[in-house]
A and B are shown apart, each in its own frame.
Chain A
């Protein structure tokens, strides 16, 4: 087991790694580390999943119709309330 990178050092680059913005060399080091270190592999996988789940489930939150209506009213845009929402 060659460990160029210890678990603590991996943590420092973790955000950049899961965001896919880490340089090739560091990326390769992380990949070879997680191939040998099960805990770090799990941390990487579950971290990605955590971010994914929050983004996915939040997409479902839409502004309620009545909140939109009151907003348009407050902004003196009542005449545009009926217009189709374009998102």
Chain B
């Protein structure tokens, strides 16, 4: 996604206020930004606010955009800031830069060892499973969630994720591993039950 989307758009046209080019930029990136907002905030109205504000701010800031990161990463960065702002509004004590609890030590709990990979696809992505996937991701702390969303759902690289979040690459890696393992634990509980039901049923 990285290099391609950079070349897809003319920064010159965008900066000069070319509306057709802007409409194209919006159409290519709006689904990703909306999806990020939705999974970050779990509320369609908030996601729409994030979406609109992201593009309004991007349009304002375009003249200052230096192209050091890709347009895509830059838009994610604005969208993340908008999302965090809404979160801070709900929880004023929220501090994104501070360390995640236990970020330093390596005690990561693994408790689930059921091998649910072999469940049929229909079971893995049933609408009930989908609801559980959504619920599980909301149980992650915001700091872990946003790293997982950017890296594993939007497929940004470690470097791009660190640029979008303004945290170090090593913090991205630590948070990513924790997010992944926590989700794996939760999914294992859910699918493990399905697996047992299938064996006994």
Contacts and interface: CB of A to CB of B under 8 A. Distances in A.
A15 interface: yes
Interface string B9-28: 00000000001101110111
A77 B19 contact: yes
B133 interface: yes
A53 B133 contact: yes
Contact of B48 (A47, A57, A67, A87): A67
Contacts of B184: 43, 46-47, 50
Given A57-B125, A61-B38, A63-B31, A50 B183 contact: yes
Contact of B35 (A8, A51, A61): A61
A70 B152 CA distance: 29
Interface string B130-167: 10010001000000000010001101000000000000
Interface string A69-87: 0111011110110010111
B85 interface: no
A51 B136 CA distance: 13
A86 B20 CA distance: 13
A49 interface: yes
Size band of the B side of the interface? 35 or more
Contact of B30 (A57, A68, A80): A68
Contacts of B22: 75, 77
B56 interface: yes
Contacts of A75: 22, 26, 52, 55-56, 59
A5 B52 CA distance: 50
Nearest to A45: B117
A62 B48 CA distance: 13
A14 interface: yes
Interface in A1-35: 8, 11-12, 14-15
Interface of B: 19-20, 22-24, 26-28, 30-31, 34-35, 38-39, 44, 48, 51-52, 55-56, 59, 106, 108, 110, 112-117, 124-125, 130, 133, 137, 148, 152-153, 155, 173, 176-177, 180-181, 183-184, 187-188
Interface of A: 8, 11-12, 14-15, 38-39, 42-43, 45-47, 49-51, 53-58, 61-63, 67-68, 70-72, 74-77, 79-80, 83, 85-87
25 contacts: A39-B110, A43-B113, A46-B112, A46-B188, A49-B117, A51-B152, A54-B183, A55-B152, A57-B133, A58-B153, A61-B31, A67-B34, A67-B48, A67-B51, A68-B30, A70-B48, A71-B51, A75-B26, A75-B52, A75-B59, A76-B19, A77-B22, A77-B23, A83-B23, A86-B24
